[in-house]
Every structure is written in structure tokens, then in C-alpha cells.
Amino acid sequence: MTTDVRAAPAPTRPAPLPPARPAGRWKVVVGAAVVLGITALTLVPGIGVEVDLGAIVRNWTNGADKVLALLQPDWSFFPRTVQPLLETLQMAVIATAVAGVVSLPLSLWAARTTNPHPLLRGAVRAVLNVVRAVPDLLYASVLVAMVGVGALPGILALVLFDVGIVVKLVSEQLEAADTGALEAGRAAGGTQTQVNRAVAVPDMLPGFVTQLLYVLELNVRASAVLGLVGAGGTGLLIDAVRSFYRYDQLSLIILEILVVVLVLEAVSSAARRRLV
């Protein structure tokens, strides 16, 4: 009895990978052109923005004196900063709350998945683009002239600023989300309003609250600047001490704003971890 012994086939070697293509020369050319363009916009006389780097060397002592004064905060000035700082926090919280109420329906109207009407959606987006294009400081300047100096124009300016940001971010979140539940709701016979209320709003709430916490932090920073044009908060006090070159008092205000922002950042980070 004979046994048919056959040789095992030799293992096949995987096909070699194609060699990596070297980076095209055009990328190097484009990169060099961008660098040269930026250099021309900043340094070349008659073409750029006329940045005089020599002025930094000539006047560095003036800056050194200001920095030295900022490193020596006047702690005795603290009692006068408490009320403006509280007003800044109140402005930020009120503006965030009002912006949240206004932004919720606008976010649904601006998203393609929750608003199938192109004309209404386009009109909402066009108005919000205009709102977002105007700086908050310009809003505050106009509103101060309309309603007077104080916290009210600052709150209104912050509300406009917040609505433009929140609606854009939340509407993009809605458009990037899975539309299966929305389609199922429409297939079951629900109207768009019913589907949005029952499906879209619960899904968007965590991201919506996250964006509101983000703009709350921005409002604290922005309100300090809006006060420079008379819109209340610590900005009025900053403008006063800056006018008298009291950089030691200005340093104290900056430290207080920094502490408030860090505390808000810690609180909002903890809230985001619970929501997400």
C-alpha cells in the first residue's frame, strides 16, 4: 500500500506596498508663497500694516514700568471692586438666561433637519449672520446711546452676542445628529412641531446647556470690556482707573476677573461631565 505524499505549497508572500509618493513641489511653493505674503502684509513699507518692531526696542522701558506696576496690586482697593464685579456677574447670568430662551426655538428653525422650509430657514440664518457679524462692543456703543449708561445696554449687547453664537453651534449640532428618530416620528404621522418637541429638543438639550455654559464664561470676559463704553460692570471701573494710570488698581481688577473665570470654568466643566 502506497501513501501519496504531496509537498505542501510554499507560503505566498504578501505583495510589497507601493513606495510612498514624495510630497509634491507645489505644496512647498504654496507654503513659501503664504509665508512671503504674510511677511509682506506685516513688514514691507507701503504694502504691509507698517509694524515698527524697532519701537518695541526703543520704548521697552515704558512697558517695563507698566508691567512692574501690574505686579503690585493695590489690595486696599478691593472694597470698591466688589459692587462692579457683582454687577458683571449679574449681567452675565441674566444675558445667558435670556439668550437661552431666545436661542432654543431659533436653533430649531435654523437647522435643516428640524425645519424643512427653505425660505424660513434661510431668513433665520440670514438675520443671525448679520447679528453675528456685528461686534458686541459696537452693539454696546449704540445701545448706550439709545438707553443710557448702565447695565441694561450691556445685557442687551450680550444677549445679541450670545444668540448669534448659540444658534449657530446648536443648529450645526442638530444637522450633524442622526435623523432616524426624526424620520420615524414623521412616518408615525407627527407634525414637524410635535416631532421637534418630542425628539429633537430632548436630544439637543445636553449640547444646548453646554453651549450656554460656554457663553456664560464669555459674558464675564466681554462685560469687562463693554463697560469701557458705559455698558456697566467692571468695565466702568477699569476705564476710571486706567484714566488715572492706576495700574496697581487695574491689576487687582484683572486678578478678580481671572479668579471668577477660573471658578466658572471649574463649575461648567463639572456640569459638562454630568451632561455628556
Mean local confidence (pLDDT), 93-106: 90
Helix/strand/coil for 130: helix
The per-residue pLDDT for range 68-77, each reduced to its tens digit, is: 777 888 888 8
Q: Which three cell numbers stand for residue 135?
A: 461686534
Mean local confidence (pLDDT), 50-72: 73
Helix axes 151-176, 118-133, angle to 10 degrees: 140
When mean pLDDT is compared over 9-18, 46-55, 148-157, the highest value belongs to 148-157
The per-residue pLDDT for range 212-230, each reduced to its tens digit, is: 888 888 888 888 788 788 7
The per-residue pLDDT for range 34-48, each reduced to its tens digit, is: 888 777 776 666 666
In whole angstroms, give the CA distance from residue 195 to residue 187.
10
Q: Which three cell numbers stand for residue 263?
A: 471658578
**How far, CA to CA in Å, does 9 sit from each of 12, 91, 120, 142, 269?**
9, 80, 69, 85, 61
CB 90 within 8 A of CB 154: no
What is the pTM for the complete model shown? 0.73
In whole angstroms, give the CA distance from residue 222 to residue 224.
5
The per-residue pLDDT for range 225-246, each reduced to its tens digit, is: 887 887 777 888 888 888 888 8
What pLDDT is stored for residue 7 in this prediction?
53
Helix axes 78-110, 118-133, angle to 10 degrees: 160
In sequence order, what DSSP letters do the residues of 72-116 get, joined into one string? S--GGGHHHHHHHHHHHHHHHHHHHHHHHHHHHHHHHHH-TTT--
The per-residue pLDDT for range 148-186, each reduced to its tens digit, is: 888 888 889 999 988 988 988 888 888 787 777 777 777
Q: Pick from 153, 159, 173: which is nearest to 97 by CA?
A: 159
CB 162 within 8 A of CB 219: yes
Mean local confidence (pLDDT), 115-120: 84
What pLDDT is stored for residue 154 in this prediction?
87
Distance of CA 254 to the CA centre of its chain: 21
User: Can you list the alpha helix ranges (DSSP code H) found in the chain?
Assistant: 25-42, 53-58, 60-70, 78-110, 118-133, 136-147, 151-176, 180-187, 192-195, 201-226, 234-243, 247-275
